[in-house]
Amino acid sequence: MQNPNSAAARDIASVLHPYTNLAVHEERGPMVIERGAGIRVWDDSGREYIEAMSGLWCAGLGFNEEALVEAAAAQMRKLPFYHPFGHKSHGPMIDLAEKLKAMAPAPFSKVLFANSGSEANDTIIKLIWYYNNAIGRPAKKKIISRQRAYHGVTLFSGGLTALPNNQRDFDMPLGRIVYTDCPHFSRNGLPGESEAGYSLRLAANLERLILREGAETVAAFIAEPVMGAGGVIVPPAGYFEAIAPVLKKYDVFLVADEVICGFGRTGNMWGSQTFGMTPDFLSCAKQLSSGYLPISALMIPDGVYQVMVEQSRKIGTFGHGFTYGGHPVAAAVALRTLELYEERGIVDHVRAVTPHFQARLAHLADHPLVGETRGVGLIGAVELMADKPGRRAFQPGQGVGSYCQAQGQENGLITRALGDSIALCPPMIITVSEVDDLFDRLERALDSTESWVQAEALRQP
């Protein structure tokens, strides 16, 4: 019988867990993580794990960066809280905004701070609607997202997230959202079609969608450079270059969701730079503070900002904001994080380690359980399939991905199962020898999962 005073029992009694089967959780309880160092964390029994997801795509500098602790402590002593409402400001927020503008992949006029990627993406959509109302285009409000996209969980961003379990029984989407193709070439490319040809076909499909909806009603297209929670889908060659002229032709904003890809993850400071995107708006979070404190930011083009200024003259205020947006402690930690990325050459380090990481990832394609591997920089996924030659998936209810994730934990490896794709996104400080340790543990998890699949005869159609 479980000790009622244990952390696990107290958790079951009091905590509601996101992205968790609540019924199973009542029986199984949580893994309680107590401490971290480098790319590793330890649970409350003292067991060590390689955290191959950086928590939730966040901890780019690992789990014990003392410089960030010191930045937080110093700011807590100086000014533990203030806000940006009603002409108020403070130094860390100003410094961080300047830093983000200087390093951005496109020219931006202003930076607005929030607390999460969901809030940032939701706010961008609000600003686009606000802008179109101000310039006399009240019908131009629809947002194009993509199948399998992930852009958040708030009432509108949850609709932009085109994953069934994020919408089922939540009455989402609310409206004004249309979906275009997921750019998964290996799954959706036609026989004999090149990646470039596939990209052109998707761009043509996007144009047909805009025309079908009415270009006068379509305001923006939102995209992650690499689709994260949808399965780590890397865009095919020429994809963003192909869709950019379509968006420009119909005066549709391109919103880059850099919440996962930003700050070195793909081998450039921004995923937009890796994949040839020139965004009109940009959202970022997660590695902005290496996950150490909640903070997000959205970057706004000058043309939109100038219209917002005129709206303030008309309305009397800009009626939006978050109490903790630009929080001085979070801003100070984020600023120090960005400085560390530069001081330690994190982008160069990612580029140096990437070839080995991607080679070990690609090697897993030879495993009998693995139908596909995909990745870029220090992000990747292994997709498990029932029939590799026929590219037949396991049945969703079989839970093969979840089983493999659990086997990873048995082997001291924390991954994330996205359906039957096992995602990897280790801290960007990972070394070549640690990459080998990570993949050795993953291979053992795959082997034990393959044995289970065979024993349970799960490949039968």
CATH of residue 231:
3.40.640.10
In a domain, 207, yes or no: yes
Beta-bridge partner residues of 59: none
Q: Are residues 286 and 382 in the same domain?
A: no
Q: How many domains does the chain have?
A: 2
Q: What dihedral angle (degrees, nearest 10) is formed by the CA atoms of 123, 128, 129, 135?
A: 140
Q: How far is CA 192 from the centre of its chain?
A: 32
The pLDDT score that the predictor gives to residue 396 is: 86
In a domain, 18, yes or no: no
Burial 117-131 (b: 16+ CB within 10 A, else e): bbbbbbbbbebbbbb
Q: What are 444-453's pLDDT values in tens digits?
A: 999 999 999 9
Beta-bridge partner residues of 145: 179
The pLDDT score that the predictor gives to residue 434 is: 98
In a domain, 109, yes or no: yes
In a domain, 25, yes or no: no
In a domain, 263, yes or no: yes
The pLDDT score that the predictor gives to residue 460 is: 83
Q: Are residues 39 and 101 in the same domain?
A: no
- In the predicted model, is pLDDT for residue 461 greater than 90? no
Q: Are residues 42 and 177 in the same domain?
A: no
Q: Tell me the two tokens of residue 91.
A: 């130094």
In a domain, 20, yes or no: no
Task: Give, rounded to a whole angstrom, the gap between the first and last alpha carbons of the chain.
Answer: 40
Residue that has been written with the tokens 């034990």 in this structure = 448
The CB-side HSE value for 308 (13 A sphere, CA atoms) comes to 19
Q: Are residues 306 and 392 in the same domain?
A: no
Final residue belonging to a domain, choices 321, 343, 365: 343
CA pair distance 271, 104, nearest whole angstrom: 11
The pLDDT score that the predictor gives to residue 1 is: 57
- In the predicted model, is pLDDT for residue 440 greater than 90? yes
- In the predicted model, is pLDDT for residue 118 greater than 70? yes
In a domain, 302, yes or no: yes
Provide mean pLDDT across the span 413-420: 97
Q: Are residues 58 and 91 in the same domain?
A: no
Q: Are residues 311 and 443 in the same domain?
A: no
Question: Which amino acid, 2?
Answer: Q
Structural domain span for residue 144: 68-343
Give the list of residues 6+ apart from residue 458 with CB closer than 8 angstroms, or none: 386, 394, 395, 398, 400, 452
The pLDDT score that the predictor gives to residue 69 is: 98
The pLDDT score that the predictor gives to residue 3 is: 85
Burial 413-423 (b: 16+ CB within 10 A, else e): bbbbbbbbbbb
Q: Are residues 176 and 223 in the same domain?
A: yes
Average pLDDT, the chain: 97
Q: Are residues 216 and 186 in the same domain?
A: yes
Provide mean pLDDT across the span 177-203: 97
CA pair distance 144, 133, nearest whole angstrom: 18
In a domain, 460, yes or no: no
Give the list of residues 6+ apart from residue 112 with CB closer than 8 angstroms, or none: 123, 297, 298, 300, 325
SS3 for the chain is CCCCCCHHHHHHHHCCCCCCCHHHHHHHCCCCEEEEECCEEEECCCCEEEECCHHHHCCCCCCCCHHHHHHHHHHHHHCCCCCCCCCCCCHHHHHHHHHHHHHCCCCCCEEEEECCHHHHHHHHHHHHHHHHHHCCCCCCCEEEEECCCCCCCCCCHHHHCCCHHHHCCCCCCCCCEEEECCCCHHHHCCCCCCHHHHHHHHHHHHHHHHHHHCHHHEEEEEECCCECCCCCECCCCCHHHHHHHHHHHCCCEEEEECCCCCCCCCCCCCHHHHCCCCCCEEEECHHHCCCCCCCEEEEECHHHHHHHHHHHHHHCCCCCCCCCCCCHHHHHHHHHHHHHHHHCCHHHHHHHHHHHHHHHHHHHHHCCCEEEEEEECCEEEEEECCECCCCECCCHHHCHHHHHHHHHHHCCEECEEECCEEEECCCCCCCHHHHHHHHHHHHHHHHHHHHHHHHCCCCCC
The pLDDT score that the predictor gives to residue 103 is: 98
Q: What are 265-277's pLDDT values in tens digits?
A: 999 999 999 999 9
Q: Tell me the two tokens of residue 440.
A: 């050795």
> Domain of 357: which CATH number?
3.90.1150.10
Q: Are residues 170 and 282 in the same domain?
A: yes
Q: Tell me the two tokens of residue 403.
A: 């089983």
Cβ–Cβ under 8 Å, residues 137 and 216: yes
Q: What are 7-21's pLDDT values in tens digits?
A: 999 999 999 999 999
Decide: residue 33, CB within 10 A, 0-12 exposed, 13-18 middle, 19+ buried: middle
Q: Are residues 372 and 397 in the same domain?
A: yes
Q: Are residues 326 and 355 in the same domain?
A: no
Final residue belonging to a domain, choices 343, 374, 390: 343
Q: Tell me the two tokens of residue 206.
A: 């996007």
Q: What are 132-173's pLDDT values in tens digits?
A: 999 999 999 999 999 999 999 999 999 999 999 999 999 999
Question: Which amino acid, 36?
Answer: G
Q: What are 207-261's pLDDT values in tens digits?
A: 999 999 999 999 999 999 999 999 999 999 999 999 999 999 999 999 999 999 9
Q: Are residues 206 and 93 in the same domain?
A: yes
Q: Tell me the two tokens of residue 357.
A: 């990481």
Decide: residue 351, CB within 10 A, 0-12 exposed, 13-18 middle, 19+ buried: middle
Final residue belonging to a domain, choices 303, 324, 343: 343
Q: Is 361 left (phi over 0), alpha (psi -120 to 50) or beta?
A: alpha
